[in-house]
């Protein structure tokens, strides 16, 4: 059974719409890998794993995981564009079961407003940076890197860089 039966969402469109209208800040779609550590109220580690951030705002994040997060207390970690570790504490607001061993958790950030905003901004920058880089690679005549040589996807022979 999940933590706090009343906090579980079944995935109903009406419930999601009601939650969207209650949000103070808009959500930004994202897809970032997040390491997390869940703890009890005394700070003892209960679980650590990875998840995928599906959306984020300046006050919270929605995390898709392969395990249910039973604790209310959580620490979220990722890397910024410069590969520096970024971290923020949070509180699990609700959990949902997607089925097929996938779970979701709505997490509200803890800390001062600047910390919350900076964490959200850094994750959004990483997501956008990855998107821009992947489009830039595809936009240059569809060349792919293979070791140190560049290959034109339309030709078999190496091309000069």
Residue 9 is predicted with a pLDDT of 42
φ, ψ of residue 101 in degrees (nearest 5): 60, 30
Domains and CATH numbers, the chain: 5-134 (2.40.10.220)
pLDDT tens-place string over residues 121-148 = 999 999 988 877 665 554 454 444 444 4
**Residue 57, Ramachandran bin (φ over 0: left; ψ between -120 and 50: alpha; else beta):** beta
pLDDT tens-place string over residues 91-121 = 999 999 999 999 999 999 999 999 999 999 9
| Residue written as token pair 């999940």 | 2
Q: Which helix (H) or strand (E) holds 133?
A: helix 113-139
Look at 80 and 157; give whichever has higher pLDDT: 80
């Amino acid at each position: 059974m999940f933590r706090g039966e009343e906090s579980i969402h079944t995935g109903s469109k009406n419930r999601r719409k009601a939650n969207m209208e209650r949000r103070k800040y808009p959500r930004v779609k994202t897809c970032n890998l997040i390491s997390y550590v869940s703890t009890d109220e005394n700070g003892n580690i209960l679980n650590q794993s990875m998840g995928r951030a599906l959306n984020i705002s300046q006050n919270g994040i929605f995390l898709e995981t392969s395990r249910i997060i039973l604790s209310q207390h959580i620490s979220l970690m990722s890397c910024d564009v410069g590969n520096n570790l970024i971290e923020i504490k949070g509180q699990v607001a609700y959990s949902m079961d997607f089925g097929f061993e996938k779970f979701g958790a709505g997490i509200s950030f803890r800390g001062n407003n600047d910390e919350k905003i900076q964490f959200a901004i850094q994750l959004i920058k990483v997501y956008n940076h990855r998107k821009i880089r992947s489009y830039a690679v595809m936009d240059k005549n569809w060349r792919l890197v293979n070791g140190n040589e560049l290959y034109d996807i339309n030709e078999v022979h190496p091309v000069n860089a």
